[in-house]
């Protein structure tokens, strides 16, 4: 899990791996959200994906306190230019709303927070002057019902994703948590997108895709490429273990 403001791997004891804490919520249609607090990060958040945060900057303490007290979401956007800490960063235009599902306030004012991605949105405009943090007007994006072909494609992508996790586990000698992939094509597309070990630019591209079939097709392409790449590396590594001699 990526890291924010010093530490992003925090989670409350007993919660388990913070990958997906709930099922994907289907969007009900386009709509406008009132002045959404914005949190530019070096991470792409997908609907259904859990994101633990350690908050220490005063501006984000203020933002998280407001969202917690008023039970309102904030928007997570990948940084296009700038940094997480310091001067306001310039974000991409498409992000995901995040809801707070757990908040721990520390004695010195810092906070440990677990959030869950809920809805994709398009950023229409934002201000750096109204608050100490960014706020923006956003349009909530619709995730239309996919065609029947998406279900078969989703199952194919889910199978590739589980194979991907297995081969990554072999390559890294680490125990990885199996993916909990939902039955819906939309949910599958978001779970797989969050699990891919690819650059943020590719993850952002997946987030911005509107049609579920298109997102699944892109993920199928990425998974096939990544599986082939890691398998080739494993073959080279195994061949190197025997040197110039045959294993027979």
Domain ranges of the chain: 31-140, 149-242
**Nearest 10 degrees: Cα torsion 220, 223, 227, 228:** 60
Rounded average pLDDT over 153-173: 93
CATH topology of domain 31-140: 2.30.130
* Residues in contact with 60: Cβ distance below 8 Å, sequence separation at least 6, in sequence order: 5, 39, 133
pLDDT at 3 over 70: no
Q: Are 150 and 216 in contact (CB under 8 A)?
A: yes
DSSP code of 92? P
The architecture in CATH of the region 149-242 reads: Up-down Bundle (1.20)
Give the confidence band of 160 by pLDDT, cuts at 50, 70, 90. Answer: very high
Rounded average pLDDT over 241-245: 50
Model confidence over 38-92: pLDDT tens digits? 999 999 999 999 999 999 999 999 999 999 999 999 999 999 987 777 677 889 9
Give the confidence band of 9 by pLDDT, cuts at 50, 70, 90. Answer: very low
DSSP H helices, 209-246, are: 212-242
């Amino acid at each position: 899990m990526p890291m924010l403001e010093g530490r992003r791997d925090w989670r409350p004891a007993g919660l388990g791996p913070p990958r997906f804490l709930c099922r994907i919520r289907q969007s009900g249609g386009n709509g406008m959200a009132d002045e959404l607090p914005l949190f530019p990060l070096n991470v792409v958040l997908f609907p259904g994906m859990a994101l633990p945060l350690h908050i220490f900057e005063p501006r984000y303490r203020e933002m998280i306190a407001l969202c917690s007290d008023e039970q309102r979401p904030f928007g997570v956007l990948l940084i296009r230019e700038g940094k997480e800490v310091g001067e306001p960063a310039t974000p991409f235009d498409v992000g995901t709303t995040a809801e707070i599902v757990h908040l721990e306030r520390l004695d010195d004012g810092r906070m440990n927070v677990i959030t869950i991605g809920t809805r994709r949105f398009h950023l229409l405009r934002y201000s750096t002057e109204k608050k100490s943090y960014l706020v923006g007007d956003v349009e909530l994006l619709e995730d239309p019902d996919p065609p029947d072909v998406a279900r078969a494609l989703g199952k194919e992508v889910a199978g590739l994703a589980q194979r991907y996790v297995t081969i990554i586990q072999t390559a890294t000698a680490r125990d990885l948590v199996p993916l909990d992939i939902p039955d819906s094509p939309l949910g599958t597309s978001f779970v797989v997108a969050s699990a891919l070990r690819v650059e943020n630019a590719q993850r952002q591209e997946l987030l911005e895709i509107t049609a579920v079939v298109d997102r699944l097709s892109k993920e199928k392409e990425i998974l096939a490429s990544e599986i082939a790449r890691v398998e080739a590396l494993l073959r080279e590594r195994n061949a190197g273990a025997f040197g110039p001699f045959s294993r027979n």
